[in-house]
Amino acid sequence: ELQKEDPSAINNLVDKHILPYSDFPRMTRMAVGPQWRNATPEQKEEIQTLFRKLLIAVYSGALKEASDYSMQLGRNNINPNEKVVLVRTKLTASQREPIQLDYRLLKTKDNEWKVFDVNVGGVWLVENYRSQFASVISNGGLNGLITELRKKANK
């Protein structure tokens, strides 16, 4: 219903209610990989901005598809003293196969938990982007990655 009234509403929902609980700078660094250290401050800022825009689109698309699903927590033995934890969940809907949806969370200096990677159906998001980005960076460097991210983010 929300999407019918305002097509950008889902993007706004993701930006305001999902991404604040993500360690977005860490996700970006991990996705870019070792070349992140060679990026200028301007390149880092632009990559983060474009990657954020891309992830908003990805998460929004997933939310649009998941309207009939409910979430079930899996078996999670989480120790609150840990710095990194894995939270296992499953999305279920009648007459559809369940979808594995797991989150890697990191405890911040402020004692908050932030998501830094998501596994959908056995594919880790950051790992998937890292392999895509590595190919782009090897051919066109960090500026090539920025160009590619611009194309994807503007679709």
User: In this predicted structure, which of 46-50, 76-80, 121-125 has the lowest mean pLDDT?
Assistant: 76-80
Domain that holds residue 70: 2-153
Largest CA distance in the chain: 50
Instruction: Give the DSSP H or E segment for 98.
Output: none
CATH no. for residue 47? 3.10.450.710
pLDDT of 60 > 80? The answer is no
Structure confidence by residue, pLDDT tens digits, 18-35: 888 899 899 999 999 999
What does the alpha-carbon distance between residue 137 and residue 27 come to, in Å, rounded to a whole number?
Answer: 17
User: What domain count does the chain have?
Assistant: 1
Q: Structure pTM?
A: 0.83
What does the alpha-carbon distance between residue 120 and residue 102 come to, in Å, rounded to a whole number?
Answer: 7
How high does pLDDT run on average in the chain? 86
**Of the candidates 86, 88, 87, 31, which has an alpha carbon nearest to the alpha carbon of residue 54?**
31
CB atoms within 10 A of CB 125: 20
Structure confidence by residue, pLDDT tens digits, 86-120: 999 888 887 778 888 899 999 999 989 999 999 98
User: Residue 58: exposed, middle, or buried by beta-carbon count in 10 A (0-12, 13-18, 19+)?
Assistant: middle
What does the alpha-carbon distance between residue 57 and residue 11 come to, in Å, rounded to a whole number?
Answer: 7
Q: In this structure, are residues 54 and 48 in contact, taking their beta carbons and an 8 Å threshold?
A: no
